[in-house]
Protein backbone atom coordinates (compact mmCIF):
# COMPACT_ATOMS: atom_id res chain seq x y z
CA UNK A 1 0.00 0.00 0.00
CA UNK A 2 1.13 3.54 -0.75
CA UNK A 3 2.49 4.87 2.57
CA UNK A 4 1.20 8.40 1.94
CA UNK A 5 -2.33 7.03 1.45
CA UNK A 6 -2.01 4.80 4.51
CA UNK A 7 -0.88 7.74 6.63
CA UNK A 8 -3.86 9.76 5.43
CA UNK A 9 -6.55 7.19 6.17
CA UNK A 10 -5.13 5.74 9.39
CA UNK A 11 -4.18 8.71 11.51
CA UNK A 12 -3.49 7.87 15.20
CA UNK A 13 -6.44 8.69 17.46
CA UNK A 14 -4.17 9.66 20.33
CA UNK A 15 -3.36 8.51 23.85
CA UNK A 16 -6.28 7.31 25.94
CA UNK A 17 -6.70 8.27 29.58
CA UNK A 18 -6.25 4.62 30.53
CA UNK A 19 -2.91 4.35 28.74
CA UNK A 20 -1.73 7.72 30.05
CA UNK A 21 -2.53 6.76 33.65
CA UNK A 22 -0.59 3.52 33.32
CA UNK A 23 2.43 5.31 31.85
CA UNK A 24 2.44 7.90 34.61
CA UNK A 25 1.74 5.54 37.48
CA UNK A 26 5.43 5.16 38.33
CA UNK A 27 5.62 8.88 39.21
CA UNK A 28 3.45 8.25 42.25
CA UNK A 29 5.36 7.12 45.33
CA UNK A 30 2.72 4.53 46.25
CA UNK A 31 2.54 3.10 42.72
CA UNK A 32 0.58 -0.09 43.29
CA UNK A 33 -2.35 0.60 40.96
CA UNK A 34 -5.05 1.74 43.40
CA UNK A 35 -4.78 5.42 42.55
CA UNK A 36 -4.87 4.64 38.85
CA UNK A 37 -8.05 2.63 39.36
CA UNK A 38 -9.60 5.49 41.34
CA UNK A 39 -8.98 7.89 38.48
CA UNK A 40 -10.53 5.42 36.06
CA UNK A 41 -13.58 5.07 38.32
CA UNK A 42 -14.02 8.85 38.38
CA UNK A 43 -13.67 8.98 34.60
CA UNK A 44 -16.32 6.27 34.21
CA UNK A 45 -18.81 8.14 36.37
CA UNK A 46 -17.98 11.29 34.42
CA UNK A 47 -18.91 9.55 31.18
CA UNK A 48 -22.27 8.54 32.64
CA UNK A 49 -22.98 12.04 33.95
CA UNK A 50 -21.94 13.46 30.57
CA UNK A 51 -24.58 11.27 28.94
CA UNK A 52 -27.23 12.47 31.39
CA UNK A 53 -26.25 16.13 30.92
CA UNK A 54 -26.42 15.80 27.13
CA UNK A 55 -29.93 14.37 27.18
CA UNK A 56 -31.23 16.28 30.21
CA UNK A 57 -33.71 18.27 28.15
CA UNK A 58 -35.19 15.08 26.71
CA UNK A 59 -35.74 13.40 30.06
CA UNK A 60 -37.27 14.30 33.37
CA UNK A 61 -33.99 15.12 35.15
CA UNK A 62 -33.94 18.88 34.64
CA UNK A 63 -35.36 21.23 37.22
CA UNK A 64 -35.35 21.38 40.99
CA UNK A 65 -35.98 18.55 43.42
CA UNK A 66 -38.01 20.97 45.51
CA UNK A 67 -35.67 20.53 48.46
CA UNK A 68 -32.35 21.81 49.79
CA UNK A 69 -29.05 19.99 50.18
CA UNK A 70 -26.88 20.07 53.27
CA UNK A 71 -25.43 23.41 52.10
CA UNK A 72 -28.86 25.04 52.24
CA UNK A 73 -28.99 25.33 48.44
CA UNK A 74 -31.81 24.32 46.11
CA UNK A 75 -31.06 20.79 44.96
CA UNK A 76 -31.43 20.02 41.28
CA UNK A 77 -32.47 16.62 39.98
CA UNK A 78 -29.17 16.23 38.17
CA UNK A 79 -27.34 16.99 41.45
CA UNK A 80 -28.90 13.88 42.91
CA UNK A 81 -28.21 11.86 39.76
CA UNK A 82 -24.52 12.85 39.67
CA UNK A 83 -24.11 12.21 43.39
CA UNK A 84 -25.47 8.68 43.03
CA UNK A 85 -23.33 7.96 39.97
CA UNK A 86 -20.02 9.00 41.52
CA UNK A 87 -20.65 7.31 44.86
CA UNK A 88 -21.69 4.11 43.07
CA UNK A 89 -18.61 4.14 40.80
CA UNK A 90 -16.24 4.76 43.70
CA UNK A 91 -17.93 2.08 45.79
CA UNK A 92 -17.92 -0.54 43.04
CA UNK A 93 -14.32 0.29 42.07
CA UNK A 94 -13.17 -0.99 45.45
CA UNK A 95 -10.26 1.42 46.02
CA UNK A 96 -12.01 4.20 47.99
CA UNK A 97 -12.79 3.32 51.59
CA UNK A 98 -15.00 6.40 51.94
CA UNK A 99 -16.43 9.34 50.02
CA UNK A 100 -17.32 12.83 51.20
CA UNK A 101 -19.80 14.61 48.95
CA UNK A 102 -20.93 18.21 48.92
CA UNK A 103 -24.47 16.83 48.68
CA UNK A 104 -24.20 14.78 51.87
CA UNK A 105 -23.92 15.74 55.51
CA UNK A 106 -21.42 13.12 56.62
CA UNK A 107 -18.89 10.53 55.46
CA UNK A 108 -20.19 7.83 53.13
CA UNK A 109 -18.55 4.52 54.06
CA UNK A 110 -18.22 2.43 50.89
CA UNK A 111 -17.65 -0.86 52.71
CA UNK A 112 -14.19 -1.15 51.10
CA UNK A 113 -12.29 -1.03 54.38
CA UNK A 114 -9.13 -2.33 52.75
CA UNK A 115 -9.14 0.68 50.46
CA UNK A 116 -6.23 3.07 50.97
CA UNK A 117 -7.85 6.25 49.69
CA UNK A 118 -10.70 8.64 50.39
CA UNK A 119 -12.35 10.97 47.89
CA UNK A 120 -13.94 14.38 48.48
CA UNK A 121 -16.19 15.42 45.61
CA UNK A 122 -18.57 18.08 44.35
CA UNK A 123 -20.55 15.85 41.99
CA UNK A 124 -22.09 18.69 39.98
CA UNK A 125 -20.80 22.23 40.34
CA UNK A 126 -22.92 24.99 38.81
CA UNK A 127 -26.05 22.85 38.70
CA UNK A 128 -28.33 25.90 38.74
CA UNK A 129 -27.20 26.40 35.12
CA UNK A 130 -28.45 23.00 33.95
CA UNK A 131 -31.83 24.23 32.76
CA UNK A 132 -30.30 26.98 30.59
CA UNK A 133 -27.63 24.80 28.94
CA UNK A 134 -24.56 26.47 30.45
CA UNK A 135 -21.39 24.49 31.15
CA UNK A 136 -21.21 22.70 34.50
CA UNK A 137 -18.68 20.39 36.10
CA UNK A 138 -17.46 17.90 38.69
CA UNK A 139 -14.60 18.65 41.11
CA UNK A 140 -12.72 15.93 42.99
CA UNK A 141 -9.90 15.49 45.45
CA UNK A 142 -8.11 12.30 46.54
CA UNK A 143 -6.23 11.63 49.81
CA UNK A 144 -4.33 8.64 51.09
CA UNK A 145 -6.12 7.65 54.26
CA UNK A 146 -4.46 8.16 57.68
CA UNK A 147 -6.81 5.87 59.60
CA UNK A 148 -5.84 2.19 59.91
CA UNK A 149 -6.56 0.06 56.84
CA UNK A 150 -9.31 -2.40 57.64
CA UNK A 151 -11.26 0.03 59.78
CA UNK A 152 -13.93 2.59 58.90
CA UNK A 153 -12.68 5.92 57.56
CA UNK A 154 -12.69 8.85 59.98
CA UNK A 155 -12.92 12.63 59.83
CA UNK A 156 -9.12 12.80 60.07
CA UNK A 157 -8.85 11.18 56.63
CA UNK A 158 -10.62 14.16 55.04
CA UNK A 159 -9.24 16.95 57.25
CA UNK A 160 -5.55 16.38 56.51
CA UNK A 161 -5.12 19.69 54.70
CA UNK A 162 -4.82 20.57 51.04
CA UNK A 163 -1.11 19.87 50.74
CA UNK A 164 -1.74 16.21 51.56
CA UNK A 165 -3.78 15.64 48.40
CA UNK A 166 -2.37 12.95 46.14
CA UNK A 167 -4.58 13.84 43.17
CA UNK A 168 -7.21 16.40 42.24
CA UNK A 169 -9.06 17.58 39.19
CA UNK A 170 -12.33 18.36 37.50
CA UNK A 171 -14.57 17.29 34.65
CA UNK A 172 -16.09 20.03 32.51
CA UNK A 173 -19.34 19.26 30.69
CA UNK A 174 -19.41 21.87 27.93
CA UNK A 175 -19.16 22.14 24.15
CA UNK A 176 -16.77 19.25 24.64
CA UNK A 177 -16.33 17.25 27.83
CA UNK A 178 -12.90 17.45 29.41
CA UNK A 179 -11.20 15.79 32.36
CA UNK A 180 -8.28 17.75 33.81
CA UNK A 181 -6.24 16.36 36.68
CA UNK A 182 -2.92 16.34 38.52
CA UNK A 183 -1.12 13.86 40.74
CA UNK A 184 1.50 16.42 41.73
CA UNK A 185 3.55 16.13 38.53
CA UNK A 186 2.01 18.78 36.32
CA UNK A 187 -1.47 19.05 34.84
CA UNK A 188 -2.92 17.11 31.92
CA UNK A 189 -6.25 17.49 30.12
CA UNK A 190 -8.29 14.87 28.27
CA UNK A 191 -11.16 15.42 25.84
CA UNK A 192 -14.01 12.92 25.62
CA UNK A 193 -14.56 11.32 22.22
CA UNK A 194 -18.25 10.41 22.20
CA UNK A 195 -18.20 7.86 19.38
CA UNK A 196 -15.37 5.83 20.93
CA UNK A 197 -16.43 6.38 24.53
CA UNK A 198 -12.90 7.33 25.57
CA UNK A 199 -11.04 10.30 27.01
CA UNK A 200 -8.04 11.18 24.84
CA UNK A 201 -5.04 13.28 25.84
CA UNK A 202 -5.58 16.72 24.29
CA UNK A 203 -3.63 19.02 26.64
CA UNK A 204 -0.48 17.12 27.71
CA UNK A 205 1.11 19.80 29.87
CA UNK A 206 -1.12 22.65 30.97
CA UNK A 207 0.59 25.78 32.28
CA UNK A 208 -1.43 28.87 33.11
CA UNK A 209 -0.11 32.09 31.51
CA UNK A 210 1.68 34.30 34.03
CA UNK A 211 -0.79 37.11 33.36
CA UNK A 212 -3.99 37.68 31.44
CA UNK A 213 -6.73 40.15 30.58
CA UNK A 214 -9.78 38.45 32.11
CA UNK A 215 -11.34 38.86 35.55
CA UNK A 216 -14.22 36.63 36.63
CA UNK A 217 -16.54 37.56 39.49
CA UNK A 218 -20.15 38.34 40.29
CA UNK A 219 -20.23 42.13 40.17
CA UNK A 220 -23.75 42.04 41.53
CA UNK A 221 -22.06 41.88 44.94
CA UNK A 222 -19.97 45.00 44.23
CA UNK A 223 -21.22 46.98 47.21
CA UNK A 224 -20.53 44.07 49.54
CA UNK A 225 -16.97 43.44 48.36
CA UNK A 226 -13.95 44.52 50.47
CA UNK A 227 -12.41 47.82 49.46
CA UNK A 228 -9.20 46.28 48.09
CA UNK A 229 -11.24 44.07 45.74
CA UNK A 230 -13.24 47.02 44.39
CA UNK A 231 -10.05 48.99 43.88
CA UNK A 232 -8.52 46.09 41.97
CA UNK A 233 -11.57 45.61 39.75
CA UNK A 234 -11.73 49.34 39.04
CA UNK A 235 -8.11 49.26 37.91
CA UNK A 236 -8.83 46.23 35.71
CA UNK A 237 -11.58 48.20 33.97
CA UNK A 238 -9.38 51.25 33.53
CA UNK A 239 -6.85 49.03 31.79
CA UNK A 240 -9.52 47.69 29.43
CA UNK A 241 -9.51 44.15 30.79
CA UNK A 242 -12.50 41.91 30.10
CA UNK A 243 -15.08 40.77 32.61
CA UNK A 244 -16.02 37.14 31.90
CA UNK A 245 -18.30 35.35 34.36
CA UNK A 246 -20.34 32.25 33.53
CA UNK A 247 -21.49 31.50 37.06
CA UNK A 248 -20.18 27.92 36.97
CA UNK A 249 -16.92 27.74 38.88
CA UNK A 250 -15.44 24.96 36.74
CA UNK A 251 -16.24 26.79 33.50
CA UNK A 252 -14.74 30.12 34.64
CA UNK A 253 -11.72 28.39 36.17
CA UNK A 254 -11.08 26.30 33.06
CA UNK A 255 -11.15 29.29 30.71
CA UNK A 256 -8.73 31.25 32.88
CA UNK A 257 -6.45 28.22 33.29
CA UNK A 258 -6.02 27.96 29.53
CA UNK A 259 -5.98 31.64 28.53
CA UNK A 260 -4.83 33.46 31.67
CA UNK A 261 -7.01 35.36 34.10
CA UNK A 262 -8.24 35.55 37.66
CA UNK A 263 -11.34 34.19 39.36
CA UNK A 264 -12.57 36.04 42.46
CA UNK A 265 -15.06 35.02 45.12
CA UNK A 266 -14.30 37.47 47.93
CA UNK A 267 -15.73 37.52 51.44
CA UNK A 268 -18.95 39.54 51.74
CA UNK A 269 -21.13 40.80 54.53
CA UNK A 270 -23.45 37.83 54.04
CA UNK A 271 -20.58 35.36 53.78
CA UNK A 272 -17.66 36.88 55.73
CA UNK A 273 -15.77 33.58 55.61
CA UNK A 274 -16.38 33.19 51.89
CA UNK A 275 -18.87 30.93 50.13
CA UNK A 276 -16.87 28.26 48.32
CA UNK A 277 -16.19 24.99 50.14
CA UNK A 278 -12.65 24.29 51.23
CA UNK A 279 -12.69 20.51 50.73
CA UNK A 280 -14.74 20.26 47.55
CA UNK A 281 -13.69 23.38 45.64
CA UNK A 282 -10.88 25.29 47.33
CA UNK A 283 -8.36 22.51 47.92
CA UNK A 284 -8.64 20.60 44.61
CA UNK A 285 -8.63 23.72 42.43
CA UNK A 286 -5.78 25.27 44.43
CA UNK A 287 -3.70 22.11 44.16
CA UNK A 288 -4.26 21.95 40.42
CA UNK A 289 -3.57 25.65 39.78
CA UNK A 290 -0.30 25.53 41.73
CA UNK A 291 0.75 22.53 39.66
CA UNK A 292 -0.01 24.62 36.57
CA UNK A 293 2.12 27.53 37.80
CA UNK A 294 -0.67 29.70 39.20
CA UNK A 295 -1.77 30.90 42.63
CA UNK A 296 -4.78 30.30 44.86
CA UNK A 297 -5.21 32.63 47.84
CA UNK A 298 -7.78 33.52 50.49
CA UNK A 299 -6.65 37.08 51.15
CA UNK A 300 -4.83 36.01 54.31
CA UNK A 301 -2.75 33.16 52.92
CA UNK A 302 -2.56 30.32 50.44
CA UNK A 303 -5.69 28.20 50.12
CA UNK A 304 -3.64 25.02 50.55
CA UNK A 305 -2.41 26.28 53.93
CA UNK A 306 -5.93 26.37 55.40
CA UNK A 307 -6.27 24.04 58.40
CA UNK A 308 -9.72 22.49 57.86
CA UNK A 309 -11.87 21.78 60.89
CA UNK A 310 -15.24 21.04 59.29
CA UNK A 311 -16.40 19.03 56.29
CA UNK A 312 -18.36 21.93 54.85
CA UNK A 313 -16.01 24.78 55.84
CA UNK A 314 -15.99 27.75 53.46
CA UNK A 315 -13.32 30.08 52.14
CA UNK A 316 -12.83 33.17 49.97
CA UNK A 317 -11.02 32.32 46.74
CA UNK A 318 -8.72 34.30 44.47
CA UNK A 319 -7.27 31.93 41.89
CA UNK A 320 -5.52 32.24 38.55
CA UNK A 321 -2.48 33.76 36.88
CA UNK A 322 0.24 34.54 39.43
CA UNK A 323 0.76 38.16 38.36
CA UNK A 324 -2.95 38.97 38.56
CA UNK A 325 -3.41 37.35 41.96
CA UNK A 326 -0.29 39.08 43.24
CA UNK A 327 -1.51 42.47 42.07
CA UNK A 328 -4.88 41.95 43.77
CA UNK A 329 -3.26 41.06 47.09
CA UNK A 330 -0.56 43.76 47.02
CA UNK A 331 -2.57 46.17 49.24
CA UNK A 332 -2.78 43.48 51.91
CA UNK A 333 0.96 43.31 52.43
CA UNK A 334 1.67 44.48 55.96
CA UNK A 335 -0.50 44.20 59.06
CA UNK A 336 -2.28 47.59 58.92
CA UNK A 337 -3.49 46.95 55.39
CA UNK A 338 -5.29 43.80 56.54
CA UNK A 339 -8.06 46.02 57.84
CA UNK A 340 -9.09 46.29 54.19
CA UNK A 341 -10.45 42.77 54.51
CA UNK A 342 -13.28 44.13 56.62
CA UNK A 343 -14.13 47.14 54.49
CA UNK A 344 -17.13 47.10 52.23
CA UNK A 345 -18.51 49.81 49.98
CA UNK A 346 -21.10 52.29 51.21
CA UNK A 347 -24.55 51.20 50.14
CA UNK A 348 -26.11 53.36 47.40
CA UNK A 349 -28.63 55.89 48.58
CA UNK A 350 -32.26 54.88 48.22
CA UNK A 351 -34.09 56.42 45.28
CA UNK A 352 -37.49 55.91 46.90
CA UNK A 353 -39.54 59.13 47.36
CA UNK A 354 -40.70 60.01 50.90
CA UNK A 355 -44.36 59.40 51.58
CA UNK A 356 -46.62 62.40 51.10
Binding-site residue positions for substrate: 125-128, 218, 245, 263-265, 275
Q: How far apart are CA 231 and CA 229, in angstroms?
A: 5
In this structure, the number of other CB atoms found within 10 A of the CB of residue 244 comes to 17
CA 112 to chain centre: 26
Q: Which residues contact 162 (CB under 8 A, 6 or more apart)?
A: 278, 282, 283, 286, 287, 303, 304, 305, 306, 308
Query: If DSSP codes are grouped into helix, strand and coil, which group holds residue 223?
Result: helix
Q: How far apart are CA 238 and CA 196, in angstroms?
A: 48
Task: Please spell the DSSP secondary structure of 121-132, one letter per residue.
Answer: EEEEETGGGGGG
Do residues 61 and 113 make contact, with C-beta atoms less than 8 angstroms apart? no
In this structure, the number of other CB atoms found within 10 A of the CB of residue 242 comes to 12
The beta strand positions in 64-197, using DSSP E, are: 64-68, 74-76, 96-101, 108-109, 117-125, 136-144, 165-173, 177-182, 187-193
H/E segment holding residue 44: helix 34-54
**Rg (the chain; Cα; Å):** 21
Q: How far apart are CA 217 and CA 221, in angstroms?
A: 9
Q: How far apart are CA 290 and CA 157, in angstroms?
A: 22
Q: Identify the DSSP state of 310.
A: S
Binding positions are: 102, 122, 124-128, 218, 245, 263-265, 275, 281
Q: How far apart are CA 121 and CA 100, in angstroms?
A: 6
Binding positions for Mg(2+) are: 102, 122, 124-125, 281
Do residues 116 and 34 make contact, with C-beta atoms less than 8 angstroms apart? yes
Amino acid sequence: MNLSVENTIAQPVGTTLERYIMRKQAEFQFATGELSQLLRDIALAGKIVNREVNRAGLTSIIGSMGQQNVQGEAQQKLDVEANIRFIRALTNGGEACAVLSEEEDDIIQTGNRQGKYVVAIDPLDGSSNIDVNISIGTIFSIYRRVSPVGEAATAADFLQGGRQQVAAGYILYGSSTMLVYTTGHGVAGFTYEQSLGEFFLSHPSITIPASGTVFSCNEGYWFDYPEYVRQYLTECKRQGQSGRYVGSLVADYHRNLLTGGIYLYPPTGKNPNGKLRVLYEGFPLAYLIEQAGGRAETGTGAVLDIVPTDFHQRTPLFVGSPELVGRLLAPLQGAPARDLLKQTAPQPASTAQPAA
